[in-house]
Structure 1
C-alpha cells in the first residue's frame, strides 16, 4: 500500500516529462502532421515506461494534437488551415482577457521574471532563424499565461496557442517579419509589469489579429 502511494508522484512526473517533450515536438512539427507515433521508440528515447507514454498521448489527444484509431495506432493530427478562423476567434477573446488578468494578478516574483524576459528580448540581436523565433514566441506566451494564476484558463490558453503555432510552422519558410512579431512582446510585457491591464489587453488583441492577418496573406 505504501509503495503504491509513494510511486504515484514518480509516475506523474514521468508522464509530465513525456507529455512536455511530445507536446513541443508536435507543436513545432518535429513530428510531422499525419506521422505515426512510435511508442516503443519513444520509450527508449525518453527512458520511460509504457504507462507514462500512453497517459501523455491520452492528454495530447484531448488537446487535438494526436488522434488514435482502433487497430491502426496513434498519429499526429493534420494541420487544417480551415481551422484558423475558429482558433483565432477563441484567441481574440481569451488572449486580451489573459493579458489584462496577468497585469492585475502578477506577483512581485512574476513581474521580476517578466522584466528579465523583456530585457532579454529587447537586447537580443535579431535572429534570422524563424523556428527559433517561434520557440521564443511560445515561451513568452506561456510565461504570461502563468501570471494569470488560473490553471483552467492557463491550460486552455496553452492549448489554443499550440494549435496556432502549428499553423505558423506550416508557413515558416514563407514568413517574413517574424522578428517583428516577436518584438511585439516587449511593450506587452511592459504593460503587464506596470499593471496596465487596459494596455495589455489592447496589445494582446493586436498581436493575435496580426498573426491571423500574416497567415491569411500567404493563403
Structure 2
C-alpha cells in the first residue's frame, strides 16, 4: 500500500496536478486513496527524500517548489548518467526488454494525444530504458532526476512549443537500444538532455 500511495502521489507531484507549495495532509490523502495513514506517511517520507515534498516543523508538509536554479545541476548529472544508461541498455537489454521497447516504439509512432498523455509516455519511455540497464541503482537514481526534470518541463508547458516533437525524439533512441548500437544510443541520449535544457532556457 505504501508503494501504491507513493506512485499515486509521485505522479500528481511530477505532473504538477499537486501544485508547487500546495499543503499535503496525510489524513486527507489516506481518506482519498482509501489507505491507512501509515502507508501514506511512509510514501511521504520517500517523496521527501526524493525532493518532491518538503516538511517543516509545526508548519506541515508541502509540495516542493520548482526551482529553476536546479536546471543546471540536474542537467550536469543527467548529461553523465542518461547516455550511460542508454549505452548500457543497448548492451544488456534482454529479449523481453527489446520486445517491450519495440511495443513502445510502435506506441510512440501512433502517439498524438494531449499534453498529459505525452508527458506520461515520455516518462514511460525513460523508465523502460532505465530498467533495461539491469542496474537497479542507476535506474533508481535516474528516475529520481527524471521526475525533477519533468516538473520543470511541466511548469513551462504552456510556453514550450513542440512537446510532441520532444517526445518523438525517443524514436531513434529506442531503435538504437533495440539494435544494440550502444554508441549511437549514448549520443542520442546526450543530445536529448542538451535539447531539454536548451528548450527550457529559451523560455526563461
TM-score class normalised by the smaller sequence: over 0.9
Q: Separation in 2 of the partners of 1:56 and 1:152?
A: 19
Equivalent residue for 1:142?
A: 127
Q: Separation in 2 of the partners of 1:207 and 1:47?
A: 39
Deviations 1:57-116 (A, max 9, x none): 111111000111111111111001111000010000000000000001101000000001
Q: Of residues 180, 197, 201 in structure 2, which corresponds to 1:212?
A: 197
Equivalent residue for 1:4?
A: none
Q: TM-score, normalised by structure 1?
A: 0.91
Q: Does the residue aligned with 1:81 lie in a helix, a strand or coil? A: coil
Is the 1:37–1:73 Cα contact (8 Å) retained in structure 2? yes
Equivalent residue for 1:91?
A: 78
Deviations 1:128-179 (A, max 9, x none): x223211211111011111111111111000000000000011001111111
Equivalent residue for 2:21?
A: 34
Q: Separation in 1 of the partners of 2:25 and 2:159?
A: 30
- 1:123 and 2:110 aligned: yes
Give the unaligned 5+ runs of structure 2: none
* 4+ aligned runs moved over 4 Å, structure 1: none
Could you say which structure has the larger radius of gyration?
Answer: 1
Is the 1:29–1:166 Cα contact (8 Å) retained in structure 2? yes
Q: Does the residue aligned with 1:67 lie in a helix, a strand or coil? A: strand
Equivalent residue for 2:36?
A: 49
How far apart are residue 45 of structure 1 and its match? 1.3
Q: Separation in 1 of the partners of 2:172 and 2:196?
A: 17
Equivalent residue for 2:87?
A: 100
- Cα RMSD (Å) of the superposition? 0.9
* Number of residue-to-residue matches in the alignment: 204
Give the unaligned 5+ runs of structure 1: 1-13
Q: Separation in 1 of the partners of 2:8 and 2:93?
A: 27
Q: TM-score, normalised by structure 2?
A: 0.98
Q: Of residues 137, 149, 161 in structure 2, which corresponds to 1:176?
A: 161
